[in-house]
């Protein structure tokens, strides 16, 4: 199996991504989960990551708490999307499994140095603060990362938190800038993809029909943030952003995109956190990321539902 580290700010869609990874041990070896401040503050994202692992009965999963605020500015959260706890919807018990003593950034650096070169893939599902801090502190790890597959950014779909920016990039644009300039192979799931991965009523029913604790909880999670998103986008369901990252690792043929140059705006007040993606190749800037643009959402949801049923 491919070795991965999930860096996350759960978040209902983060939670579903974690569950999908936990349900796929033949393909993915989850070395650890690192948490970051994003959708809600760090203490809550760490609590939520623990609750999700307990929901899946995977209390042996190692969880490391990371940075509690962006590198260079105040934390912006999204309780208006995810609820007060960040994981509103299901009623899950308070977690009892431990958090590791090691800081997430130290875990990232130590793991990348200890594992053979280019055998560990990072899967960031929130602001890129932990990843960028690790790259700054230990520049040697850049050459050791196999790939970073992240959810963030947008090009035609532009912004969801400001008219220009997607939430994960907007919260810590300086961190995103470091990651996009790092030279590490990047695969990006922007809003252009995730806004095609919609939890329709039928797909939500399919989660519930699994009939397990996990199936019911996922149905309740996706029900919760649907209320907000359907009204916002006027679509037939809410976008299920973060699971696209894990879906890509399991079934890359369900996604298509382009290898292009992407830069992050870090200065402008108006467009802070915008991912300036050279989709049409109008500059001679060197490509640094594979920006996905399309997803076979029918097969993606079938895969997701089948896997969740295994937990």
What does the DSSP assignment read for 283-295?
S-PPP-EEEEEEE
151 lines the binding site for ligand BDR (CB under 6 A): yes
Let me know: does 259 contact 292? Beta carbons within 8 Å. Answer: no
Q: Give the up-direction half-sphere exposure of residue 26: CA atoms within 13 A in the CB hemisphere.
A: 3
Shortest Å, Cβ 13 to ligand BDR: 5
149 close to 245: Cβ distance less than 8 angstroms: yes
Mask: binding to Ca ion, 89-128, rule CB under 5 A, as x and -?
Answer: ------------------------------------xx--
Strands 262-264 and 2-8, bridge-based pairing? unpaired
Would you state the structure tokens that stand for residue 227, as one six-digit string? 């209320």
Span interacting with ligand BDR, options 6-14, 93-101, 129-137, 172-180, rule CB under 6 A: 6-14
Active-site residue numbers? Answer: 241
CA distance 19 to 3: 16
Distances (CA, A) of 227 to 20, 92, 198, 209: 23, 20, 13, 20
Judged by CB under 5 A, the residue of 14, 166, 226, 265 near Ca ion is 14
Stretch that binds ligand BDR, among 7-15, 174-182, 209-217, 275-283 (CB under 6 A): 7-15
Burial of 132 (0-12, 13-18, 19+ CB in 10 A): buried
Least distance CB 126 / ligand BDR (angstroms) = 6
State which residue, 245 or 289, has the beta carbon closest to Ca ion: 245
Closest distance of CB 153 from ligand BDR, Å: 9
Q: Which does 182 bind (CB under 5 to 8 A by kind): ligand BDR, Ca ion, none?
A: none
Burial 283-299 (b: 16+ CB within 10 A, else e): eeeeebbbbbbebbbee
Q: How far is CA 177 from CA 6, 191, 269, in A?
A: 20, 18, 16
Minimum CB–partner distance for residue 139 and ligand BDR (Å):
26
Q: How far is the CB of 76 from ligand BDR (least distance, A)?
A: 11
| List 223, 242, 265, 278, residue binding ligand BDR (CB under 6 A) | 242
Helices within 181-239 (DSSP H only): 191-194, 201-209, 213-233
Shortest distance, CB of residue 124 to Ca ion, whole angstroms? Answer: 9
Which of 16, 241, 262, 289 is the binder for ligand BDR (CB under 6 A)?
241
Whole-angstrom Cα distance, residue 242 to residue 262?
A: 20
User: Nearer Cβ to ligand BDR, position 141 or 221?
Assistant: 221
Stretch that binds Ca ion, among 63-71, 113-121, 190-198, 236-244 (CB under 5 A): 236-244
- The distance from CA 301 to its chain's CA centroid, rounded to whole angstroms, is 17
Query: Stretches 10-18, 70-78, 129-137, 183-191: which one binds Ca ion (CB under 5 A)?
Result: 10-18
Query: In Å, how far from its chain's centre is CA 119?
Result: 20
Q: For Ca ion, what does the binding mask look like between residues 238 and 267, x meaning CB under 5 A?
A: ----x-------------------------
Q: Which of 45, 121, 168, 182 binds ligand BDR (CB under 6 A)?
A: 168
CB nearer Ca ion, residue 229 or residue 242: 242
In angstroms, the Cα distances linking 163 to 45, 82, 189, 232, 302 are 26, 20, 18, 13, 32
- Provide the binding-site residues for ligand BDR, judged by CB under 6 A: 11, 13-14, 39, 78, 81, 125-126, 151, 160, 166-168, 241-242
């Amino acid at each position: 199996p491919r070795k991965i580290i999930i860096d996350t700010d759960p978040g209902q869609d983060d939670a579903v991504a974690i569950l999908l990874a936990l349900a796929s041990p033949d393909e993915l070896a989850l070395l650890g989960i690192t948490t970051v401040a994003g959708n809600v503050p760090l203490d809550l994202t760490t609590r939520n990551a623990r609750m999700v692992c307990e929901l899946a009965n995977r209390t042996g999963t190692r969880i490391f708490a990371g940075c509690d605020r962006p590198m260079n500015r105040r934390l912006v959260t999204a309780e208006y999307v995810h609820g007060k706890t960040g994981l509103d919807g299901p009623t899950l018990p308070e977690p009892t499994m431990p958090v590791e003593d090691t800081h997430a950034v130290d875990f990232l650096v130590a793991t990348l140095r200890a594992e053979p070169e280019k055998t560990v893939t990072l899967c960031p599902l929130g602001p890129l603060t932990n990843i960028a801090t690790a790259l700054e502190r230990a520049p040697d790890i850049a050459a050791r990362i196999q790939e970073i597959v992240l959810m963030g950014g947008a090009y035609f779909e532009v912004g969801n938190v400001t008219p220009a920016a997607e939430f994960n990039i907007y919260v810590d644009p300086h961190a995103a800038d470091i990651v996009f300039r790092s030279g590490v192979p990047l695969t990006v799931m922007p809003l252009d993809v995730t806004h095609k991965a919609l939890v329709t009523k039928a797909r939500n029913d399919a989660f519930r029909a699994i009939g397990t604790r996990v199936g019911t909880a996922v149905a309740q999670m996706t029900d919760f943030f649907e209320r907000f998103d359907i009204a916002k986008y006027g679509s037939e369901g809410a976008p299920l952003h973060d699971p696209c990252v894990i879906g890509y690792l399991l079934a890359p043929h369900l996604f298509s995109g382009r290898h292009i140059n992407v830069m992050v705006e870090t200065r402008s007040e108006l467009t802070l956190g915008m991912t300036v993606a050279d989709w049409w190749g109008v500059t001679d800037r060197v490509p640094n990321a594979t920006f996905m643009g399309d997803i076979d959402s029918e097969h993606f949801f079938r895969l997701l539902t089948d896997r969740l049923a295994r937990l």
